[in-house]
Structure 1
Amino acid sequence: MASTIFQRLTATKLALDEIEEVIASHFGHSSWTDDGHVEFSHLGLFVPDVALTLLLGEDRRPRDAIAGPGLKDSDIEAIETALTKLASTSTYVHYRQVAFTNAPVRSAYKYKDYFQIVPVPIGSPVPAQAMAEWPFVFEFTYMGSANMSIDAHRRAKAESKLLSLLNVLFISGVFVRPSHEKVWVMGPRGETQYLQAGYYHPVPSGPRFLERALYPPMRRSPAQTYYGGFAETLSGFSLPDDIETSLDCYHAMSEADRDRFDIAAHWFSRYADLKKVSMSSGIVALVTALEALSPKSRVPPCPTCGNISAAVRGFQTLLDAVLQSNTEAKDQFYRLRSKIAHGAWLLHSDFSAWGGGSQARLEEFDVYRLEETVRQVLYRWLQPEIRDQVERAAARSHRHG
């Protein structure tokens, strides 16, 4: 059982990292112990006595607290007051920025008071070609804080999770581009320049979502067509017709299920950037996304099947329960990922963009099928009946006919 001090520090139910930041701010000095815990002390000219030690669990998150000789009677009360103020002053904040997608955004979409997509203002810089990164105004809300450091962390975390979710549900993808680095570019007269990367055009400011009545509603396609690779994107950004159902399912999930999905969506969302550097690392990211949702098998390995490991069995259980087809392709996906992750293989495209013969062409086809398969699994896993189906499949005993 956790100490009384730790129970007092966590009574507000704030995130543990935020509690730790408030503790660090109060004491002013912290250091790591040799056994991996965190000691806090009052900042001073001389080496101070430890006031409080946070004990970390195997997941590196605080699990208990121990008072030290430097702890004052007023310390815990002051920290409690700061935590209570932080919890009571938290409020939903609206944030607006320019983001990008792979299809022109000419219409608007809003999901409740969670996020909105609208075109950039007239006169904003846009690409001259169809296949490009198209800017749009991306707005979302998050639980903000008067503490600037914690507010920035909350906003970044909310944005990251939201973008990953939308990259699962939107085939055109959505992303933001950092503007803190410089890149070599060709100027309008062919001269080479080293310039700041980024996109800027004035966007109206304000505490609320922009008025979307000025734009037509977003075009929609049947979900089966949209996720089947048949949705046409050149005519503009579009949505599946069940987008609200998918978003509702995400918000209705348990915290544990949503955490698993957020991890899977993160890896799927990273695939687009990773494959530009290394297609092999992109493959690992895709299969890691599936592993995040794979059930932990509760039956022993099967000697008849070659004593398959629990990781492989969980992966196969997930795909069999969700897709119920293409068994050979599923096995090929995992074998390919295992060879890459264990240093036994690289895709031909990582050595050269050209050549490789039939093997290279088949690899490209496998990669395309894997990307579509992973999106289908993540999209369907949002549905509670599918998650139940996966869990039932994981609990069944392994039998041979």
Structure 2
Amino acid sequence: MTETFRSFIMLTNANVTGKYIYGDKFQILPAPDHFPRTPYAEADHPCLLEIKYNFTPDPTRKMPDQTEVSDWIQRKDHEKKIIHEIMNLFNAFSFSKFVQTQDIHSWTIRTDDNIAIEPEWRQLSYFVRDHQHEISEFTKSPASRIDEINTSEFYNFGGRFVGSDFSIPDLFSYVLDAYYSLAPDNRNALLKSLTLFNNAIKIKPISPSISFACFVSSIESLVDHIHKGVKIDKCKECSAPRYAVTKKFTEFLAKYSSDSKELIKFYKKSYGQRSKILHAGALFLGEHIPAAWAESDWESYHMNSGIERVCRIAFTNWILERHPLNQDMTR
């Protein structure tokens, strides 16, 4: 296998002023001074993501027409998977997150000092011509480490302050340790759940209802993986499964989030609401009938923000339980 280093220009929702190094896998650095920057605090900010990997192309991989998949295509695909994985981990466990750019065209209106408001047809993208993508080793940066915030305070607050710099919870490195130590099937299952979770965040401005269903499904997906292969007893009289889906969902969150009576009621209500949304099209009030500050809208808002926080806490506790140090203590 060939040891490879690569440097990628990334965009984040918070300005990266420090560095974050995770072992010999990857590091995040502030963007060089000559990189274009926005004059606004809340915007997409550039940074560098440097990764290290070992990769050997598979000569047996075929295209749909049975021609060989070129080595450079396989390498690009491998790099894309690594970046996707890192993005999902940051976006799920931190409020400072990467922004996915898309090479699309759209009408735009300038937001600088130009007085005339004239729409312009532009490509939405960010790149720097002289950036060196291929590097021989990780860049040694004099930048100080990025801020690490107490995890409990981080999650209970439920977001980041407007204009704050890129930061992470102080248990994030332990989360990564646990993630990269998981067996491949467990890692893939968690990554699938984190993808659903992050999709829920992206969808929220468009459809709070579908976003809510995705949050619930992100937990349900992991619960289903945990119980894969487990025989479910059925009632002799009616053949209904004794261990219902709602019960598995509720018990998982009671164990990895909170077992308070109030929250257990919230878990059950959330799963019921998810079913209503997906099976009966019962959207939150205010989505299909816009209403101004209706009490029902406030309830929907709190359900959505609440399930997001519960998911993030449950994912964190579930994966930390699988940290190598915790595994050693239970043996």
- Structure 2 length-normalised TM: 0.80
How do 1:136-151 residues align onto structure 2 when only pairs under 5 Å count?
136-145=47-56, 147-151=71-75
For the residues of structure 1 that align with 2:97 and 2:286, how far apart are their CA atoms? Answer: 23
Residue in 1 that maps onto 2:18: 107
Residue in 1 that maps onto 2:68: none
1:274 is aligned to 2:274: no
Residue in 1 that maps onto 2:150: 222
Q: 1:94 offset after TM fit, Å?
A: 2.1
Letter in 2 for 1:346: L
For the residues of structure 2 that align with 1:363 and 1:230, how far apart are their CA atoms? Answer: 16
Whether the aligned pair in 1 keeps the contact of 2:50 and 2:138 (CA below 8 Å) is yes
Indicate the structure whose relative CO is greater, using CA pairs within 8 Å and at least 6 residues apart.
2
- Among 292, 299, 308, the residue aligned to 1:362: 299
Identify if the C-alpha distance between structure 1 residues 281 and 198 changes in structure 2 by more than 3 Å, giving closer, same or farther.
Answer: same
Residue in 1 that maps onto 2:175: 246
Identify if the C-alpha distance between structure 1 residues 230 and 315 changes in structure 2 by more than 3 Å, giving closer, same or farther.
Answer: closer
Whether the aligned pair in 1 keeps the contact of 2:9 and 2:49 (CA below 8 Å) is yes
Q: 1:315 offset after TM fit, Å?
A: 1.0
Residue in 1 that maps onto 2:36: 125
Letter in 2 for 1:165: L
Residue in 1 that maps onto 2:80: 156
Identify if the C-alpha distance between structure 1 residues 274 and 244 changes in structure 2 by more than 3 Å, giving closer, same or farther.
Answer: same
Residue in 2 that maps onto 1:116: 27
Identify if the C-alpha distance between structure 1 residues 355 and 230 changes in structure 2 by more than 3 Å, giving closer, same or farther.
Answer: closer
For the residues of structure 1 that align with 2:164 and 2:82, how far apart are their CA atoms? Answer: 30
SS at match of 1:128: coil
Letter in 2 for 1:132: A
Q: 1:174 offset after TM fit, Å?
A: 1.7
Give per-residue Cα distances to partners, 1:100-158, cap 9 Å, x unaligned: 22222111111012111111111322232222222211222334345122212212222
1:381 is aligned to 2:321: no
Identify if the C-alpha distance between structure 1 residues 141 and 288 changes in structure 2 by more than 3 Å, giving closer, same or farther.
Answer: farther
Letter in 2 for 1:255: P
Letter in 2 for 1:366: M
Identify if the C-alpha distance between structure 1 residues 371 and 308 changes in structure 2 by more than 3 Å, giving closer, same or farther.
Answer: farther
Residue in 1 that maps onto 2:253: 319
How many pairs does the alignment contain? 295
Give the alignment's Cα RMSD to 1 decimal: 2.6
Letter in 1 for 2:121: Y
For the residues of structure 1 that align with 2:243 and 2:45, how far apart are their CA atoms? Answer: 44
Whether the aligned pair in 2 keeps the contact of 1:143 and 1:154 (CA below 8 Å) is no
For the residues of structure 1 that align with 2:234 and 2:252, how far apart are their CA atoms? Answer: 16
For the residues of structure 2 that align with 1:155 and 1:244, how far apart are their CA atoms? Answer: 21
Q: 1:308 offset after TM fit, Å?
A: 7.0
Identify if the C-alpha distance between structure 1 residues 341 and 301 changes in structure 2 by more than 3 Å, giving closer, same or farther.
Answer: farther
Runs of 4+ in 1 over 6 A off after TM superposition: 306-309
Whether the aligned pair in 2 keeps the contact of 1:142 and 1:154 (CA below 8 Å) is no
Tell me, which stretches of 5 or more residues in structure 2 are unaligned? 58-70, 327-331
Give per-residue Cα distances to partners, 1:175-229, cap 9 Å, x unaligned: 33122x10110144321111111012343442322222x2111111111112222
- Structure 1 length-normalised TM: 0.67
Tell me, which stretches of 5 or more residues in structure 1 are unaligned? 1-89, 390-401
Identify if the C-alpha distance between structure 1 residues 185 and 152 changes in structure 2 by more than 3 Å, giving closer, same or farther.
Answer: same
SS at match of 1:333: helix
| Identical positions, percent | 20
Larger Rg: 1
Q: 1:250 offset after TM fit, Å?
A: 0.8
Residue in 2 that maps onto 1:58: none
